[in-house]
């Protein structure tokens, strides 16, 4: 007897908090950027209009990710990974890659840019999900399975560091390691990796003056208040006056040319200034709930490949949220990491939405 096909239901416990954050985010892009946008482009809605386009494109990408047949994706993962590495190489070639704020990390025309490192994050999660699924029973042999699996991630990390984009590289590696940690390999192996990582991190930081300056600014931003410590000082100046209830709608002072490009990495600072502790608490709870629902979806998944995909993409989002919020309140050094679904940015938003579509995807569950 032929099995009756049941149309999968989309997980509203994921979709609803996601779009609440997106709506808050697109308003905050307008609120935080309008002064700067009017000064630079004589259009207060300059960044808002572009972010709205990115949100529409992102919604289309979410639908594509949701409808995609992951069985076909699984068969072509090596090609996707090779393409993503090729793009990371091409962006480094003079005349092809576009430099912004000292990093050659983009392709594109004008303000519409594509960041290959964001595409590589998707490719490496898909690659690791397939490897960890295919070799799940032997992942306890850490040095024979897990270490070789990590080599493409390390290649990607080195290429991303050449741009340089330290924040994206760290987020990607952290997500990949979280995926490995839920396999059969022993936790003590990751303590060893952690120690090696700390040593390598020290070398990377000491190899660039601007990274050393950021670490110094993290411990004492007032040592260079107009240089490396400027952003974090202005961020704290935004958050502190917010108090319990905030300054109110459109009440931020720091967006008046004090906090540089507040619609990007430090958008949460402006939000905290305008909506205070209560507003900030609500947004953080929304993120925690969204991430929790995504992880629970991974746990409930009957298909190992689908489960690893969900763990990987959820980890990318969770690590990025943790780092961004840690930076804006002064608990972590400045890294240049945006806040998912809230900060201004085209390739980041559209590919994050595609990732959410893959988390919501049920095509593999139907075949189990």
Please list, in sequence order, all residues whose beta carbon lies within 8 angstroms of the beta carbon of residue 79, skipping any fewer than 6 positions away. none
Q: Which residues on neighbouring strands pair with residue 113, listed in sequence order?
A: 108
- Domain-located, residue 6: no
| Domain membership flag for residue 1 | no
The answer to whether residue 101 scores a pLDDT higher than 90 is no
Count of CB atoms situated within 10 Å of the CB of 44: 15
**pLDDT given for residue 366 in this prediction:** 54
CA distance 239 to 165: 26
3-state SS class at 183: coil
Domain for residue 5, yes or no? no
Tens of pLDDT, residues 219-234: 778 887 777 788 888 9
Residue 162 has pLDDT above 90, yes or no: no
In degrees, rounded to 5, the angle at the alpha carbon of residue 245 between the alpha carbons of residues 242 and 246 is 30
Band of residue 2 on the pLDDT scale cut at 50, 70, 90: very low
**Higher per-residue pLDDT: 15 or 114:** 15
What's the chain's average pLDDT?
A: 88
Report pTM: 0.91
Average pLDDT on 298-309 reads 92
- What pLDDT score does 274 carry? 95
Contact partners, residue 91, CB within 8 Å, separation at least 6: 97, 104, 105, 106, 107, 116, 163
75 within domain boundaries: yes
Residue 21 lies in a domain: yes
CB 228 within 8 A of CB 217: yes
> Are 133 and 305 a contacting pair, CB within 8 Å?
yes
Average pLDDT rounded to a whole number, residues 117-128 = 94
Give the Cα separation of 148 and 153 in Å (integer).
Answer: 10
Domain count, the chain: 1
Q: Is residue 142 part of a domain?
A: yes
Please indicate, yes or no, if residue 2 is contained in any of the structural domains. no
pLDDT at 83 over 50: yes
* Rounded Cα gap, residues 334 and 107, in angstroms: 24
Q: Among residues 289, 345, 339, which one has the least CA distance to residue 317? A: 339
Distances (CA, A) of 189 to 87, 143, 296, 343: 32, 9, 26, 35
pLDDT value for 105: 78
**pLDDT over 60 (residue 6):** no
Determine the structural domain holding residue 209 and report its residue range: 12-366
The residue-averaged pLDDT of 127-149 equals: 88
- pLDDT at residue 108 tops 90: no
In contact, 350 and 341? CB cutoff 8 Å = no
Which tokens sit at 210? 């601007």
Distance between CA 302 and CA 309 in Å, rounded?
Answer: 12
Residue 128 belongs to some domain of the structure: yes
């Amino acid at each position: 007897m032929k099995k009756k096909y049941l149309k999968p239901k989309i997980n509203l416990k994921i979709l609803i908090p996601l779009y609440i954050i997106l709506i808050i985010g697109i308003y905050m892009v307008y609120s935080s950027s309008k002064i700067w946008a009017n000064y630079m482009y004589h259009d207060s809605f300059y960044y808002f209009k572009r972010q709205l386009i990115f949100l529409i494109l992102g919604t289309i990408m979410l639908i594509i990710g949701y409808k995609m047949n992951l069985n076909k994706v699984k068969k072509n993962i090596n090609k996707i990974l090779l393409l993503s590495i090729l793009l990371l190489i091409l962006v480094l070639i003079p005349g092809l890659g576009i430099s912004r704020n000292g990093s050659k990390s983009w392709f594109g025309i004008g303000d519409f840019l594509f960041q290959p490192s964001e595409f590589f994050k998707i490719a490496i999660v898909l690659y690791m999900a397939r490897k960890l699924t295919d070799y799940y029973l032997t992942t306890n042999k850490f040095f024979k399975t897990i270490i070789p699996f990590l080599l493409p991630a390390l290649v990607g990390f080195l290429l991303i560091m050449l741009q340089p984009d330290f924040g994206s590289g760290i987020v990607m590696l952290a997500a990949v390691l979280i995926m490995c940690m839920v396999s059969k390999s022993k936790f003590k192996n990751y303590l060893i990796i952690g120690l090696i990582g700390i040593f390598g991190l020290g070398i990377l930081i000491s190899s660039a003056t601007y990274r050393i300056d950021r670490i110094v600014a993290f411990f004492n931003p007032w040592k260079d208040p107009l240089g490396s410590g400027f952003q974090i000082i202005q961020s704290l100046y935004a958050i502190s006056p917010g108090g319990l209830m905030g300054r109110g709608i459109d009440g931020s002072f720091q967006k008046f040319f004090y906090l540089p490009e507040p619609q990007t990495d430090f958008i949460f600072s402006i939000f905290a200034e305008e909506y205070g502790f209560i507003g900030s608490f609500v947004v953080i709870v929304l993120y925690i709930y969204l991430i929790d629902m995504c992880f629970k979806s991974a746990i409930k998944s009957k298909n190992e490949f689908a489960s690893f995909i969900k763990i990987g993409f959820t980890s990318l989002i969770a690590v990025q949220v943790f780092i961004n919020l840690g930076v804006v309140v002064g608990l972590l050094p400045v890294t240049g990491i945006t806040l998912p679904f809230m900060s201004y940015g085209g390739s980041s938003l559209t590919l994050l939405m595609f990732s959410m579509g893959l988390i919501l995807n049920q095509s593999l569950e139907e075949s189990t």
